[in-house]
Amino acid sequence: MTNQPAIMGVDIGTTGVRAVLYRPDGIALANQSVEYPLHTPEAAWAEQDPEEIYQATLKVIRQAVKESGLPPRDIAGLCFSTVFHSLIPVDETGQALYPMLIWADTRSQPYVEKIQAERDGQAIYAKTACPPHPMYPFYKILWLKHEQPAVFQRAAKFISIKEYLFYRLFGRYLVDKSIASGTGLYNVHTRQWDDDLLDLLGINESNLSEVKATTHIERTLKPEVAAALGLEPQTAIVLGAGDGVLSNIGAGAVSPGQVTAMIGTSGAVRVITDKPQIDEKRRTWCYNLTDEHWVLGGAINNGGIAFRWLRDKFGDSEQQAARDLGLDAYDLLINYAEQVPAGSDGLILLPFFSGERAPYWNANARAVFFGLNLNHGKPHLVRATLEGVIYSMFSVFTALEGFAGAASEVRVSGSFTRSSLWVQMMADVFGRVISVPGEPQGSAFGAAALGMYALKLVDDIQSIGQLVPITKRYYPNAANHQRYQRLFALYERIYWNLQQEFAEIAEIQRTLR
């Protein structure tokens, strides 16, 4: 081992936190993770305990330091990746007044509709680059103001999990430009909180955190915290960015035209650009990465979660067989899908089990199997589910290319890369070569790489791409692509023809609960 300084990337995700310690050449020295629960007390609600996440974060950092065996002086710094769109109202002492609402919480949908009806939604989007959707803290705060007025009145600050964490570490409320740009309250052109939107909510800048660059460094860890982590108090702590934009770095997609397509629980398609860009059709968002880099993209709600739904609801026998054989039930189901030709013999799934974000931004959308007939069986349902997720990703990809320019490369990440069938399916639907990078830790590596850049251990963001080799490429099948083009066009028409029905069934489901 060399005496190179080590950098830790800490990725605080939706259901768990991971800490990975890297050398500047990209070699991992330690890797620790801890899971925590997600609470859904009502339909459309998604909550977490920020203190639980904070304690889990301390634990993985401490364990990673211990696993590495490095003395504290050899750890040059830590950099944080955190989920976008979380909201925690806290009082003057920093105590949470309400559970943390995460990105998947859509209870504020009626207030999205209210704002769109009463205000210039296009003007709001043009300022914030955040399409109208209940995931954004702007609408979450509006919900609190009207539905939990006592909490709203007591709140001294409205913060994210990033700010909660840094307040506990340093006693200051700091937020990076990346997380700020994903609130729906940050003007991407002035690079400041937007006064008009704050006025609309009845709050001011004092109720939000101080905005800093994603490369901002703090070196004053509370002594007791440093001791608990096994770090020196003067260790460089880099503020970091949101997990979505950092996954681009983690995949080595650091140059214009390099697109990342990620499918985990959800999914996203993203590309780096040098300035904020707005889609006139409001299909995509734009979030900050560094002062010189922005990320355009769109996220879908229903990625691997759709496949999990199929496994849980229709895969009892496969789950039992997998337990008996020491296999993974997903692998058995994918074997079924391999028995069915591309296009699932005319069966199409619109995989909107939990509404949808990009490119439709429709929380009322619902899942639809279309074309089902007596010849279809479980293998068709499995393949149609996998294809439906790829159709959803392709709808974002085509929107992004439509205004941001043609993609020069598509790199993939996320749990779906474990299935060669699923990745090949993406190549066939997209009609593009799909590249699989070698770095498996995604946003954790992205955070570490941003930390390297902030600490000047690498010259620029682009040089990080050299640390992420391509391990495999998938080439599109021309016949399958032609078939998928026809089915995708039908997929899109089905969606647009069901707008009134989506709204009505969503209302019926709300009233029947």
Q: What average pLDDT does the chain have?
A: 94
Which residues make Cβ contacts (< 8 Å) with residue 62, sequence separation at least 6?
Answer: 228, 229, 230
Report the pLDDT value the prediction gives residue 1, as an integer from 0 to 100. Answer: 41
pTM: 0.91
pLDDT value of residue 439: 62
CATH number assigned to the domain comprising residue 16: 3.30.420.40
Residue 451 lies in a domain: no
Give the residue from 402, 357, 381, 388 showing the smallest Cα distance to 494: 388
Provide the token pair at 356: 């949808």
Residue 229: C-alpha distances to residues 58, 222, 226, 265, 274 (Å): 6, 11, 5, 30, 36
For 120-130, how does the pLDDT look when each residue is reduced to its tens digit (9 = 90+)?
Answer: 999 999 999 99
Distance from C-alpha of 19 to C-alpha of 80, rounded to nearest angstrom:
9
- Please give the residue range of the domain that contains residue 23: 6-245
Residues linked to residue 9 through DSSP beta bridges, in sequence order? 20, 79
Chain centroid to Cα 483, Å, comes to 30
Q: What is the mean pLDDT of residues 219-245?
A: 94
Whether 163 and 110 map to the same domain: the answer is: yes
Give yes or no: residues 397 and 289 share one domain: yes
Among the three residues 200, 225, 245, which one is the final residue of a domain in this structure?
A: 245
Question: What is the pLDDT, as a whole number, of residue 440?
Answer: 58
Q: Work out the pLDDT band at 513, boundaries 50, 70, 90.
A: low
Say yes or no: 260 and 284 in one domain.
Answer: yes
Q: 467: pLDDT confidence band, cut at 50, 70 and 90?
A: confident
In a domain, 466, yes or no: no
Looking at the structure, tell me whether residues 197 and 320 fall in a common domain.
no
267 and 234, same structural domain? Answer: no
Residue 4, pLDDT > 80, answer no
> Which ranges of 259-377 would DSSP assign to H, the alpha helix?
304-314, 316-325, 329-337
- Are 292 and 423 contained in the same domain? yes
Q: Are residues 237 and 271 in the same domain?
A: no
> Among residues of the chain, what percentage have pLDDT more than 70?
99
Domain co-membership, 305 together with 381:
yes
pLDDT of 84 reads 95
Angle between helix axes 420-430 and 378-404 (nearest 10 degrees) is 50
268 and 177 share one domain: no
Tell me whether residue 351 is in a domain. yes
The total number of structural domains in the chain stands at: 2
Please report which confidence band the pLDDT of residue 410 belongs to, taking 50, 70 and 90 as the band edges. Answer: very high
Do 259 and 241 share a domain, yes or no?
no
State residue 263 phi and psi, 5-degree precision: -130, 115
Q: How confident is the model at residue 265 (pLDDT cuts 50, 70, 90)?
A: confident
pLDDT at 89 over 60: yes
Chosen domain end from 245, 279, 297: 245
- DSSP annotation of 99 reads P
Please write the tens of the pLDDT for every residue from 184-202. Answer: 999 999 999 999 999 999 9
Average pLDDT for residues 134-145, to the nearest whole number?
97
Residue 441: which pLDDT band, with cuts at 50, 70 and 90?
Answer: low
Do 300 and 364 fall within a single domain? yes
DSSP annotation string for 353-397: BTBB-TTT-BTT---EEES--TT--HHHHHHHHHHHHHHHHHHHH
User: How long is the chain?
Assistant: 513
Residue 511 lies in a domain: no
